[in-house]
């Protein structure tokens, strides 16, 4: 299965020089998110090095109807990216399951409203 790259992936580095290794690692982690949700418009990644030497990784995924965001602060870029990607995955899975439940609930209420012939019903 070939996974289509999103239209736009924007990476911003603050307080440090752009690192190709970190970029490739984060792209690899975001492929997992891209497998879960199909219609991604844009990925935004912001990597920030603060004065204490900790890396803050902020990930935003824009879809036509939703915006998912995760942020993590840790000692390494890879650790922050892993945790932030996991948070994004959990948000997306929760949102998708909520939509499925609402659709099922709506179908159940429609079935209740349908009136059938008395002769078509089962005997109690």
- Residue 29 located in a structural domain: yes
Least confident of 22-26, 75-79, 111-115: 111-115
C-alpha to C-alpha distance for 32 and 66, rounded to whole angstroms: 18
- In this model, does residue 79 exceed pLDDT 80? yes
pLDDT of residue 112: 67
Compute the average pLDDT of residues 66-76: 93
- In this model, does residue 4 exceed pLDDT 60? no
- Residue 120 located in a structural domain: no
C-alpha to C-alpha distance for 69 and 52, rounded to whole angstroms: 24
pLDDT of residue 117: 59
- Residue 68 located in a structural domain: yes
Total of domains in the chain: 1
- Residue 88 located in a structural domain: yes
Run of H or E including 113: helix 77-113
- Residue 2 located in a structural domain: no
- Residue 105 located in a structural domain: yes
Compute the average pLDDT of residues 43-56: 92
Answer for the pair 93, 78: CB distance below 8 angstroms, yes or no. Answer: no
Least confident of 22-31, 54-63, 112-121: 112-121
Edge-to-edge strands, sheet with 42-49? 8-14, 42-49, 55-62, 67-74
- Token pair in block for residue 97: 């399951």
Mean pLDDT, the chain, rounded, equals 84
C-alpha to C-alpha distance for 58 and 12, rounded to whole angstroms: 10
Quote the pTM value: 0.76
Collapse the DSSP code of 53 into the 3-class scheme (helix H, G, I; strand E, B; otherwise coil) and give the result. Answer: coil
């Amino acid at each position: 299965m070939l996974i289509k790259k999103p239209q736009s992936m924007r990476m911003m580095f603050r307080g440090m020089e752009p690192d190709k290794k970190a970029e490739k690692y984060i792209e690899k982690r975001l492929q997992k998110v891209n497998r879960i949700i199909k219609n991604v418009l844009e990925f935004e990644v912001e990597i920030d090095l603060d004065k204490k030497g900790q890396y803050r990784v902020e990930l935003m995924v824009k879809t036509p109807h939703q915006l998912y965001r995760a942020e993590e602060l840790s000692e390494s870029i890879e650790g922050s990216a892993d945790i932030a990607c996991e948070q994004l995955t959990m948000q997306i899975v929760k949102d998708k399951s909520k939509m499925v439940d609402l659709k099922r609930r709506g179908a159940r209420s429609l079935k209740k409203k349908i009136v059938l012939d008395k002769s078509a019903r089962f005997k109690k």
